[in-house]
Structure 1
Amino acid sequence: MEQQTPNKYVTVAYELYTDNDKGIHELVEKAPIEHPFQFISGLGIALDSFESKILALAEGEAFDFVLKVDEAYGPYEQDHVIELPKETFAINGRFDKDMVYPGAVLPLVNADGMRFQGLVLELKDNTVIIDLNHPLAGKDLHFKGQVVTMRDATNEEIQALINHEGCNCGGDCEGGCEGGCGGHHHEHGEGECCGKHEHGKGECCGKHEHGEGCGCHK
């Protein structure tokens, strides 16, 4: 009988770089050693390609690798830019102009109940243009960092994460998910977490989840 690979509790400190439109290598995200990115392997929290590279390392080991577009968030797809009626974003019959404006990132939900985020590109007279592509779609992701923790996850940690489905596990998993972007503490303020976001999967049913945070990891 084949022995099942145990789930690993992993924390990593890293800097994430991508090339911008001008070909300049820029920092888009940082998870410092004081507040590392935390995940449990095998639960779909992190990108499969990211997880496999990290699991091949030992605690304390440094890493420097690039995930190509197809290993990361895939190509940028124009089909994931959609137009929704302004009524979708109405509160008590009035368009929510305080929250919905060009550049705003909005939590949405599709017909299957899957939550994801959309970037407002443009407001028209009666509609809103939303980009459902992941912010890092079409980009190679260059990670530099260090494995801070690598050990078998406890049953309690796994169960705590399942109980808080949709968030990364914060701290030692006993206190639930931390606020912000899935428990991350970003220092650069741009880009998204390296966890697996399900942007642009399926058509949006036009439901706007007012007031929700960005913890939309799979």
Structure 2
Amino acid sequence: METVANKYITVAYELYVTDDGERDMVEQATIERPFQFITGLGTTLESFEDQIKDLAVGENFEFTIPFAEAYGDYDDEHVLDLPKQIFEVDGHFDSERIYEGNLVPLMDSEGHRINGTVVEVKDDVVVMDMNHPLAGNDLTFIGEVVENRAATNAEIEGMVNMMSGEGGGCSCGSDGCGSDGCGDGGCGCGNNEEKEEGEACGCGGNCGCGGH
């Protein structure tokens, strides 16, 4: 049987984490607005992709990815005090985006895009949590395969461009949700379709609308 190198897959799912013995839903992609991804490009968790890629259209799934195979353990050393001036726009502190609880796109010293969550805004520093929002959590996905077919060259090229920052919107992959910032409730995912606040950012558990 021929193996398709890159598949275009869309899935509807609910993503749950367990907190104090209670299962909480943290992300949802509906059949009307499913999560789309292309296999083999590194835009989703490898463990998520492996569970989905060989399923047929209409097939249901339920699986749990342990935190070690997802976003790792929570690390207190990844909570940083960053100088307030790096969040200035035209000489003024960007209070519209830098507020407690918001997810903010940043760039590391090597030019890689990363996301951090604002913990606290102090007089001189902004306390940022650079852990992935789902770090330390086992991820349980329950859902259904909506589409599974060979990806076209145009779809692959479009996703690669988006991952490199040429497509606007956001990569919604292993490097997170790009410069548009899912914390604002908008995120171009796969086909640049806007997602509304609370809907899946198309990350295969990568986001909780805020990937890393």
Q: TM-score, normalised by structure 1?
A: 0.77
CA contact (8 A) 1:106 1:120 kept: yes
Task: Please say if residues 29 and 193 of structure 1, whose CA atoms lie closer than 8 Å, have aligned partners that are also in contact.
Answer: no
2:186 aligned to 163, 180, 184, which one? 180
Residue equivalent to 1:8: 7
1:56 equivalent in alignment to 2:25: no
Partner of 1:162: 160
Structure 1 residues 137 and 182, CA gap change in structure 2 (3 angstroms)? farther
The match for 2:179 is none
Give the superposition deviation at 1:123. 1.9
Q: Aligned partners of 1:35, 1:159: CA distance in 2, in Å?
A: 22
Does the 8 A contact of 1:38 with 1:168 survive in 2? no
- Structure 1 position 93, deviation (Å): 2.3
Residue 90 of structure 1 aligns with which residue? 88
Deviations 1:75-131 (A, max 9, x none): 111121111111111123222223222212211111121112111111222111100
Deviation at 1:161, TM superposition (A): 1.4
1:32 is matched with which residue?
30
Identity %: 50
Contact kept, 8 Å, 1:31 with 1:186, in 2: the verdict is: no
Structure 1 residues 141-194: Cα deviation after superposition (integer angstroms, max 9, x where no partner)? 11000111111111121112122225359xxxxxxxxx9334274674599832
The code of the aligned residue for 2:8 comes to Y
2:204 aligned partner, one-letter code: C
Kept in 2: contact 1:29–1:188 (CA 8 A) = yes
| Partner residue in 2 for 1:119 | 117
CA 1:159–1:42 in structure 2 vs 1: closer, same or farther (change >3 Å)? same
Structure-2 separation of matches of 1:135 and 1:25: 16
User: Pick from 204, 207, 211: which aligns with 1:194?
Assistant: 204
Q: TM-score, structure 2 length as denominator?
A: 0.79
**Aligned counterparts of 1:35 and 1:85: Cα–Cα separation in 2:** 39
Give yes or no for contact 1:47–1:194 (8 Å, CA) kept in 2.
Answer: yes
| CA spacing shift, 1:4–1:189, aligned 2, 3 Å | closer
Q: 1:190 to 1:84 in 2, by over 3 A?
A: farther
Contact 2:6 2:151 in 1 (8 A): yes
1-side partners of 2:23 and 2:186: how far apart? 26
Per the TM alignment, residue 23 of structure 1 is displaced from its structure 2 partner at its CA by 2.6
Question: Aligned-residue CA RMSD in angstroms?
Answer: 2.7
Matches of 1:163 and 1:111, distance apart in 2: 22
The unaligned stretches of length 5 or more in structure 1 are 170-178, 198-213
